[in-house]
Amino acid sequence: MDISSIEPPDSPTPADARAALTSQGRGWRGLEAEFRHILAGPTRVAATPSHRLGVHYGAAVNAACRCDGQFHRRVQSHGDADFVPAGFDGEWEDDADCTILRVSVSDALVRQAAEDVGMNTDRMVFSPRFQMRDPRIEHIAWALKAELEATIFSDRLYVDSLGVALAVRLVHLQADRPGAFRPARPTLSPPQKRRLLTYIEAHLDQSLSLADLALVAGIGVSQLKALFPQTIGLPVHQYVMRRRVERAQSLLHLGEAPISQVALEAGFAHQSHMAQCMKRILGVTPRQIVAMRR
């Protein structure tokens, strides 16, 4: 963890931020740790690109914390751990001096470790957790503390293995929570979307069919009907009608063609059909648009 991130960049390092031990300079990969003494009172930890774990060491203290709109008050005991995902900041307040082990795990390490054991984190929502009691995390934490205290460094492979074990455990703990995964929403691929929208724009004045559009996208009609609204936000028919109305509106503003001609150029069968659609979508009629131009 970058110690400068503990307070805002324009603030001096406070007296309550004293790292007794740190992994800085040891060449750890995707993992950093520091054993830190905290004086009683408030402490703010700024957001970082890494996931952070704080494990309480020693005598219990009364503590309160705020993170991601959550407020948590508790008696913080030896081994209790708070997890703060990447991108989140937090505020803690202790009623007495305390000591914690802060561990920073890179997001890349978390995702790679999860994939290595067959888990997919692409749709996982990492959220803060407070006062966790997990024997495996506690075991890894104290093993890291022992490494910080050692005068002769262990082989890097050992620290790498601790980092991977911690990353996998964090993923498992997150996956066990309700709502941990975003529901999968299949959509059109970017090339399919681009081809479809380009084709629709170029053929607005012509009769369009689902079969033709499905052919352009290279999928079946039923797939098109399912994927188009999940990608664009509107069913195919509604999207085409909206684009025709918007084109008609632009042509009417130009004033270079009569309303009946505009209806045909925008792809409507007749003028009254255009008027109905325009009134429903824009809330005005073609004649009102023409009148506003004068």
Tell whether 12 and 140 lie within a shared domain.
yes
Write the CATH number for 86.
Answer: 2.60.120.10
Average pLDDT, rounded, for the chain: 85
Are 34 and 142 members of one domain?
yes
Residues 45 and 165 in one domain: yes
Q: Which pLDDT value is given to residue 45?
A: 84
* Average confidence (pLDDT) over 174-201: 80
Measured over the CA atoms of residue 129, residue 131, residue 137 and residue 142, the dihedral's sign is: positive
Domain termination residue (choose one: 114, 148, 175): 175
Domain count, the chain: 2
pLDDT of amino acid 179: 61
CB 31 within 8 A of CB 23: yes
CA distance 173 to 190: 34
With respect to residue 242, please indicate whether it lies within any of the assigned structural domains.
yes
Asked if residue 181 is part of any domain, the answer here is no
- pLDDT for res 11: 33
Q: Angle of helix 210-217 relative to helix 221-232, nearest 10 degrees? A: 80
Higher pLDDT: 123 or 48? It is: 48
Q: Quick one: pLDDT at residue 46?
A: 85
Is residue 41 assigned to a domain?
yes
What one-character DSSP code corresponds to residue 270?
A: S
Segments forming the whole domain that contains residue 80: 3-175
Give the 3-state secondary structure of residue 195. helix
**Mean pLDDT value across residues 273-287:** 91
Percentage of residues in the chain having pLDDT higher than 90: 55
pLDDT > 70: percent of the chain: 89
In a domain, 27, yes or no: yes
pLDDT in tens, 209-244: 999 999 999 999 988 998 999 888 889 999 999 999
* Dihedral over Cα of 80, 149, 12, 96: its sign: positive
Task: Tell whether 235 and 171 lie within a shared domain.
Answer: no
* Whether residue 151 is found in the same domain as residue 204: no
pLDDT of residue 182: 57
In whole angstroms, give the CA distance from residue 234 to residue 237. 8
Residue 183 forms part of a structural domain: no
Structure tokens at 42: 């408030």
**Are residue 138 and residue 220 in the same domain, yes or no?**
no
Could you tell me if residue 182 is inside a domain?
no
- End-to-end, the C-alpha distance of the chain in Å comes to 65
Residue 118 and residue 20 share a domain: yes
Q: Are residues 136 and 110 in the same domain?
A: yes
**Stronger pLDDT, 26 or 139, i.e. the higher one:** 139
What is the CATH number for 216? 1.10.10.60
Measured distance CA(221)–CA(215) in Å, rounded: 8
* CA distances, 191 to each of 182, 187, 194, 195, 218 (Å): 24, 11, 5, 6, 11
201 and 145 in one domain?
no
Query: Of 145, 175, 205, which residue sits at a domain end?
Result: 175
Of 131, 53, 138, the closest CA to residue 88 belongs to 53
* Domain edge (last residue) among 147, 175, 203: 175
- With tokens 């999928």, the residue in question is 219
Residues 131 and 254 in one domain: no
Alpha carbons 163 and 58: distance in angstroms, whole number: 23
Answer yes or no: is 163 within a domain: yes
Are residue 253 and residue 142 in the same domain, yes or no?
no
Tokens of 114: 């999860």
- Structure confidence by residue, pLDDT tens digits, 143-185: 999 999 998 888 888 999 999 999 989 988 887 766 655 555 6
Q: What is the mean pLDDT of residues 55-70?
A: 90
Q: Which amino acid is at 290?
A: V
Q: Are 10 and 32 in contact (CB under 8 A)?
A: no
pLDDT computed for residue 193 by the predictor = 92
88 is a domain residue: yes
For residues 165 and 194, membership in a common domain is answered with no
